[in-house]
Amino acid sequence: MQHTFISKIDSHLNKKAVIKGWIYNKRFSGKIGFLQIRDGSGFIQGIVVQKDVSSEIWELANKITLESSAIIEGAVTKHPKQESYELQVSNIRLVQMSEDYPIGKKEHGPDFLLDNRHLWLRSSKQWAIQRVRNTIINATYEYLNGEGFIKIDAPILTPAACEGTTTLFEIEYFDLGKAYLSQSGQLYIEAAIMSHGRVFDFGPVFRAEKSKTRRHLTEFWMMDAEAAFVEHDENLKIQEGLVCFIAQKVLEKNQQELKILERDAKPLEKIKPPFYRITHAEAIAKLHKLGSDIKPDDDLGGDDETLIMKEYDKPLFIEKYPAKVKAFYMKRDAKNPELALCADMLAPEGFGEIIGGSQREDDYDALLGRIKEHKLPEKAFEWYLDLRKYGSVPHSGFGYGLERIVGWLCGTPHVRETIPFPRLLNRLYP
Ligand code: 4AD
Ligand code: MG
């Protein structure tokens, strides 16, 4: 008999079904056993009644341990009280008996759980987070493709920094000297827009910053989007459209997951345009009112972002940061060249920065000047300067941190739970 995924079990109502999965919990009450079964696609309760099964099956149901794998057969019925299904078990075939599964029902500390990340991924909340992550990834492709962006893959091994020289992972590259793990594919997709107009990349990026916060990973997934003939304001519109689309898709596809995560969906239903928009100078003034001692020319730290985002029920763009705290490639504001034509998008409910973006410097001489000011190796940037020599156009782009968006939409404050295998300052295992 062909097996059925739990997510499709409704098509088997009042019929037999075979489920291939794992026992994640169980409980017995006299002559009835309740097996909680999961198969990756969902969860179902299996009911074993002593008088309805052979003595071998009854014994196996009693003996079977948490996280044992099994093929379970039974009739599908409607749950008497809830909007769900149950399996009236008639047969259990053991695949492998699990011994002393280390993650139990009692509370475990984060270190223990992270050491056992390879097993922790099976827990229902961790399962739900990865399903939401999958929705966000697919929604991103769908939205950007719909807006005329094509995916272009940027390299991971690079000859120079994109975001700042202090946060690079360095490696020896044969006879060519040092190579660095990419911090963002942006510079490469800037080249690709001169071929395709609108492009995005999506892949792992690496930051060697020694940050030990709930928002920092040393390896994380970034999506960079870039578009020719797009200036600052339109850049923000594209970001707003993308984030609204993603939130909608999660609400549409992940109600079960949000419930498992005890994530209140109400704040997500509010994610509709227009998002709020203030300047960096206005943000500083607001932060001072809220009790922060941030200096007028400072970048916002994690605490400042949390503080300011308690005030907003939708994402907020903070634009026009002092150019000196931002990356070398940002175009300056024509009205005040001390400011960059950039914006960070901060997520509400205290989550903070999820997107960083800007209009790019498109003038050859201005860009060369910035490369020199930032003491970047000119040779390594020759190709990037070429883009301003041969048909330069105004252009803009942005990059999102996938784990930050997953964390926000799932209501999970620490990014370490939003990536399957987190890489942190003090963690490289498993
Ligand atoms: O703001 P960032 O550094 O911007 C860039 O790298 C640009 N080149 C993007 C672009 O314009 N194409 O990083 C973009 C986003 C941040 O807003 C944040 O969401 C996430 O990446 N991010 C991190 N996520 C997890 N751990 C870290 N250490 C992160 N650093 C940045
Ligand atoms: Mg940033």
In DSSP notation, 356-368 reads EEEEBP--HHHHH
Pocket lining for ligand 1, CB < 6 angstroms: 162-163, 183-184, 186, 207, 216-217, 220, 222, 224, 353-357, 397-401, 403-404, 415
Q: What one-character DSSP code corresponds to residue 427?
A: B
Residue among 222, 342, 425 whose CB has most ligand 1 atoms within 8 A, to mutate: 222
* Tokens of residue 94, six digits: 């053991």
Res 161: pLDDT: 87
The domains of the chain, with CATH numbers, are: 6-96 (2.40.50.140), 117-417 (3.30.930.10)
Residue 12 contacts residue 3 (beta carbons within 8 Å)? no
Residue 220 bridge partners (DSSP): 205
Residue among 169, 404, 406, 409 whose CB has most ligand 1 atoms within 8 A, to mutate: 404
> What does DSSP say about strands 85-96 and 43-49: parallel, antiparallel, or unpaired?
parallel
* Tokens of residue 284, six digits: 């500083």
Give nearest CA residue, ligand 1 atom 27: 216
Helices (H), 147-279: 186-196, 232-253, 255-260, 266-269
Res 68: pLDDT: 98
pTM above 0.85, yes or no: yes
Give nearest CA residue, ligand 1 atom 31: 401
Give nearest CA residue, ligand 1 atom 30: 216
Res 311: pLDDT: 86
Mean pLDDT in order along the chain per 10 residues (430 residues) = 95 97 97 98 98 98 98 96 94 97 90 98 98 99 98 96 89 96 98 98 96 96 98 98 99 98 98 98 97 96 94 96 97 98 97 97 98 95 98 98 98 97 97
Please give the number of the atom of ligand 1 that sits closest to the Cα of 405: 19
Neighbours of ion ligand 2 (CB under 5 A): 356
Res 165: pLDDT: 81
Res 150: pLDDT: 98
Show Cβ contacts of residue 120 under 8 Å, excluding neighbours closer than 6 positions. 103, 113, 114, 126
* Tokens of residue 272, six digits: 């509709």
Q: What one-character DSSP code corresponds to residue 6?
A: G
Res 166: pLDDT: 82
